[in-house]
Structure 1
Amino acid sequence: MGRHENAVLALLRIPVLRRMWAAITVSSLGDWLGLLANTALAQQLTSDRSVAAQGAAISGVILTRLLPDLLLGPIAGALADKLDRRRTIIIGDVSAGMLFLSIAITYDLVWLYVAQFLIEAVGLFTMPAKQAIWVNIVPREKLPVANQMSLISVYGAVPVAALIFALLSTFNRFFQDPLLASARVPIVIALVFNALTFFAAALTVYLVRRDIPVFLAGSGETKNMFSAIREGMSFIWTNPVLRGLYIGILGAFLSGGVVVGVAQLYVATLDAGNAGYSILFGTVFTGLALGMIVGPRILPGISRRRLFGLSIGLSGASLVTMSLMGDFVLVLALALLVGFFGGIAWINGYTMIGYEVEDRLRGRVFAFILSSVRIALLLSVAVGPLLAGSLGQRSVRMRESELAFSGPSTTLLVAGLLATAVGLYAYRAVGGRGRRLVDILWHTVSRPDLLGDEHVETGLFIAFEGSSSDQIASQAMSLAERLRRDGYRVISTGEPGDTAAGRQIAAILSGRATTTPLAPATECLLYLADRAEHVARVVRPALQQRQVVVCQRYVDSTVAYQGAGRGLDPSRIRRTSQWVTGSLAPDLTVVLDSAVGAGGDAAVRHMFLEIADADPDRYLVLPADLRADAIAGAVDEQVAALLATRSERVARDLPDARQASAGHGGGTAGTVAAAG
């Protein structure tokens, strides 16, 4: 089937996405550099005062970054959905660039606070617009990789910005001219550079504006701004998955903020000094980047929903262990794990928000979540040192030994316990109440396929699985017909036998072409050969044409029937299926669960349920003995939710131009008993 192009390179071949990513990378570098410059400016302007006054001036910079979130966060998100996102970004970034230039020119503490407030207020409009545009221009199945690229660009810029500012601060000391040697020079250079990055980002969006989808949530709506705010917040609290994601992300950032706030005090208790603080800071961010890059590949058998809560809990457990350590080297190793698991949680949570929220609500939902995150992070950064100071030195006597805790280590312990508790809540709220975690981990480790599943760039892929071929065929064809009536272009197909080669294979499998029983491995390989041809000739071309593919049976039937039913290795079947299909996975698999009757195979049924339970994101399990209309209603609800989040990826004809799509008629999937 040929080798697949690297996912990152494939994304970078999309011109509009490549330019937007470059703009995000450059502006992130400038933003972090601007934060360092602003805090340095506040300190430099108060250098002739007390240490307390200098600390208050620096805190003022943080507070002015926080205040717009408190006052304007939800309002800005609602307005962002009612404005042209492209225009919002262009005007907002140009305004922010001008404000940064004004800080460099005036070099005044009061104007620094005023300009910083205005910059953050502008960012409340531009950031949700950028997030929504990013989701719209990225192919849906590439969204996890694209979000990794985006977040790594944002957080990977931290050490780069710190290094640049350190070099600027050091380099100017070599000049003899008092003007060039002034501490003001590197601050001004950093602020001017930051302004230029905003101008560059605005120019980029202007140049690619015609390639960015236009979506105005306010078009055709009469809701006022506060109704829009309530709708966005209500959407989060009434959606169990989003509510779990929100609480999980918020709890994780509260804990993370405490770590950032007390890190310098904690390192001081280990006698590691400022150099140790820098190393610890860099280690956490390195772990964060690694988690976002490679984390989701480490446990591919665990669904994204379960991995989200699990990684928050593991980050908290690592933090608890770190708080008990007195050796700096061990602390660094555990700090790497804290960042690593935090990166996994953030990339998964960030991606799931994009999947769960329909486009008309994305701006206000992103704004509400991001504002909450920033408030939680900044407040915890401020409260952490106060908590560490108030707790002071503590000790716990255990028989003849005594365990001593400093104020910072006790604070880290509390933060770790909070993160662990939040992780457990998120695991149950977002990941569901299926099998025990130990069973899931064992299932994952016992079949370590690092290939993963690949969703498609366009279209919608729906598969039906279960024990009753007749019922599968009836529900699949019924869904296809309903979608056609709604104007969608639908291909109704099935396995095996929906290609020319597949029909010959189906004849062999059904016994019409041979009188000799097939060996289990031979039978399995024939099903896989049919699937390779089916995906290449029918499924993938239809998806590339933005059609809806409704398929009777797919990979899971082979895993269940030939694996559990015929005694072959399920993990080997799955890995080979990934190879022959190019790792193409359905967006939704409907499993019609039938009770085991006479002649049935309990192992087959158990395998279907086990596969679905391991990945609840993509599976809908329904009792097969429900009324047909009840099954159809549940399927319609799930499909409608998917279509709402990817309407721009699926072709839909206007009512006066609808044409029934030519279906393949379901192949012969319903004619071969125990189809694979």
Structure 2
Amino acid sequence: MLDNAVSHFAESPTYLALYVNALTFLVSALAIWRLDFPDDRSALARQESFWRTAAEGWRYIGRTPLVRGLVLGMLGAFAAGGFVIGLAQSFVSDLGAGSPGYGTLFAAVFVGMALGMWLGPRLLGDFSRRRLFGLSIGFAGVWLVLLSLVPNIVLAVFFVVGLGACAGSAWVTGYTLLGLEVGDDVRGRTFAFVQSMVRVVLVSVLAVAPVIAALFSKGLGLPHTVHVNQYVSLTYTGVMATFLLAGLLALAIGTVSYRQMDDRPGVSLRADLLESVRQRRLGDAPPRQEPFPGRFVAFEGGDGAGKSTQVALLGDWLERQGFTAVRTREPGATPTGSRLREVLLDGGEPTPRAEALLFAADRAHHVETVVRPALERGEMVVTDRYADSSVAYQGDGRDLGAAEVAQALALGHPGPDARPHRRARRVARAWAEPGAATHTTGSRPSPTTSTRGSATASCSLARRAPSRYLVLDAGLDPAEPAPAGGDPARRRAARVAGGPRRAGGA
């Protein structure tokens, strides 16, 4: 469009790109010029070399299996995209697409990555992030394999968008998991290591990919044309062979990551995906609310698991630490709730949906009159049962569907935040150390079939979303609560995956 008006661009069209690039440097220089830097340079931290940053970062990552898997998976996702970028020009030349095809393919990678980063976590909001991470890397490999097997420029654009979307989803999911798993003291170094290694991997792949493609061409005698019929023929080159190798490696990395990081053992992938999609269809989740000054802890589990005892013990412990603790329960914590409880217990046999709505009415009144005001005052609220009990009993137990019950009970209520907040997590773990509680209670009732069913449902919820739960061993003495699955030298582990002990995990 410009070369008709400016002859300079007609003779050298690439000058336009150079001028635009120069303008971006000018804008950056002006922005930096306006910054205020500290006068005392001695106060600035000494800049570490890249190799020292890499060594220190890997020293921590190498001894932490989950973080190691996350970092390797994220680097593998970027390497998959790097193969496409590094070989795109040769790829489109083999297909006769020329420079326009190269530009389209290059743009398709980053459009896909943007879509994956934006839509991936939103489309499956209730799906396990750890599972999503492994699946994203694996499906990135699938798209690469398709790209290598169907060398057609039109289809290649769609394949590359899918590849970029999976790589972007894996990147943003892995970045989020790293933020949750890495401690405060090493988070900066870990993220610096990841950012540095992403650049190293990307540049290395860009340099090595053409060499690998050339070796394939020479070693396999490529290109080779396959005539599908009189109208369709496919020509395979060293570039396609390199894409195939990269796709198989990404598929293997994704499979290993999925198996090592699967946080929902016993829950089938198909059922998990269907439940997440169903939850999505029920409507968007309520908007995230600003955190309250107080903290909210809910005890869930089967009848007779000791929830009421632990609510009292935790409340006493919090008060000894200087907090104001509010102990409550569901249903029946308020006068209105007591009347609803009477209807539930002595009002005949309500239908499952009617029963769920009665519990929802009790919870709405309970939250508005007890829970929310206490949280706004900065107090610690500890409740015996909350929304997860309804999901376990009315959702799994009454076959309404966990997603439907969870959606009906949400209503914008605050959720328990013992695990997402680091401060509250430390409080929960400190209280859960053996011997921290001082009171004891008598023996608990024997489990019934209903109790076992609800306890199993509670354990299932904990397996589906481990970041929301601190699983305690209900088989211990009430004075010694301990997180199930912890250090065997300090805690007695509960058999969470195999079912509850006694009346179930609280």
Tell whether 2:24 aligns with 1:190.
yes
Cross-structure match for 1:526: 358
Q: CA deviation at 1:456?
A: 5.6
Matches within 5 A, 1:357-396: 357-392=182-217, 393-394=221-222
Tell whether 2:465 aligns with 1:615.
yes
Tell whether 2:370 aligns with 1:551.
no
Q: Which has the higher helix share?
A: 1
Q: What secondary structure, in the 3-state scheme, does the structure 1 residue paired with 2:383 have? A: strand
Measured against aligned partners, the alpha-carbon deviations of 1:599-642 in whole angstroms (never above 9, x if no partner) come to: 435543443233222223323444532444553355999xxxxx
Among candidates 66, 80, 95, match of residue 241 of structure 1: 66
Whole-angstrom distance in 1 between the partners of 2:236 and 2:92: 14
Alpha-carbon RMSD across the aligned residues, in angstroms, is 4.2
1:560 counterpart letter in structure 2: A
Cross-structure match for 1:9: none
Among candidates 122, 126, 130, match of residue 305 of structure 1: 130
1:413 counterpart letter in structure 2: L
Measured against aligned partners, the alpha-carbon deviations of 1:17-53 in whole angstroms (never above 9, x if no partner) come to: xxxxxxxxxxxxxxxxxxxxxxxxxxxxxxxxxxxxx
Measured against aligned partners, the alpha-carbon deviations of 1:464-493 in whole angstroms (never above 9, x if no partner) come to: 211035611222333344344445554443
Tell whether 2:111 aligns with 1:277.
no
Tell whether 2:262 aligns with 1:428.
no
| Cα gap change, 1:601 to 1:476, in 2 (>3 Å) | closer
Equivalenced residue count is: 445
Q: CA deviation at 1:268?
A: 1.4
Among candidates 274, 288, 293, match of residue 113 of structure 2: 288
Whole-angstrom distance in 1 between the partners of 2:357 and 2:453: 21
Cross-structure match for 2:91: 266
1:370 counterpart letter in structure 2: Q
Tell me which of the two structures has the higher relative contact order, counting C-alpha pairs closer than 8 angstroms and 6 or more residues apart: 1
- Does the 8 Å contact 1:315/1:339 carry over to 2? yes
| Cα gap change, 1:565 to 1:190, in 2 (>3 Å) | closer
- Does the 8 Å contact 1:303/1:616 carry over to 2? no
Q: What secondary structure, in the 3-state scheme, does the structure 2 residue paired with 1:573 have? A: helix
| Cα gap change, 1:251 to 1:558, in 2 (>3 Å) | same
Segments of structure 2 that go 5 or more residues without pairing to the other structure are: 46-50, 421-427, 429-443, 488-502
Cross-structure match for 1:649: none
Moved more, 562-571 or 266-275: 562-571
- Does the 8 Å contact 1:453/1:583 carry over to 2? no
- Does the 8 Å contact 2:135/2:258 carry over to 1? yes
Q: CA deviation at 1:193?
A: 1.6
| Cα gap change, 1:468 to 1:498, in 2 (>3 Å) | same
Q: CA deviation at 1:236?
A: 2.8
Cross-structure match for 2:406: 574
Cross-structure match for 1:494: 329
Q: CA deviation at 1:557?
A: 0.7
Among candidates 439, 442, 467, match of residue 302 of structure 2: 467
Q: What secondary structure, in the 3-state scheme, does the structure 2 residue paired with 1:374 have? A: helix
TM-score normalised to the size of structure 1?
Answer: 0.57
Whole-angstrom distance in 2 between the partners of 1:172 and 1:551: 73
Tell whether 2:300 aligns with 1:478.
no
- Does the 8 Å contact 2:471/2:484 carry over to 1? no
Measured against aligned partners, the alpha-carbon deviations of 1:552-604 in whole angstroms (never above 9, x if no partner) come to: 212221122123333434332111112x23574645499xxx99943435543
- Does the 8 Å contact 1:588/1:618 carry over to 2? yes
- Does the 8 Å contact 1:458/1:544 carry over to 2? no
| Cα gap change, 1:182 to 1:361, in 2 (>3 Å) | closer
Matches within 5 A, 1:121-520: 185-199=19-33, 202=35, 233-392=58-217, 393-394=221-222, 405-432=236-263, 434-435=265-266, 436-445=268-277, 447-448=279-280, 449=282, 451-452=284-285, 457-458=290-291, 460-469=295-304, 471-487=306-322, 490-511=325-346, 516-520=348-352
Moved more, 283-292 or 499-508: 499-508
Q: What secondary structure, in the 3-state scheme, does the structure 1 residue paired with 2:185 have? A: helix
Segments of structure 1 that go 5 or more residues without pairing to the other structure are: 1-166, 207-215, 219-225, 638-672
Cross-structure match for 1:624: 474
Cross-structure match for 1:670: none
Q: Identity rate of aligned residues, in percent? A: 37
TM-score normalised to the size of structure 2?
Answer: 0.75
2:459 counterpart letter in structure 1: L
| Cα gap change, 1:549 to 1:340, in 2 (>3 Å) | farther
Cross-structure match for 1:600: 450
Q: What secondary structure, in the 3-state scheme, does the structure 2 residue paired with 1:301 have? A: coil
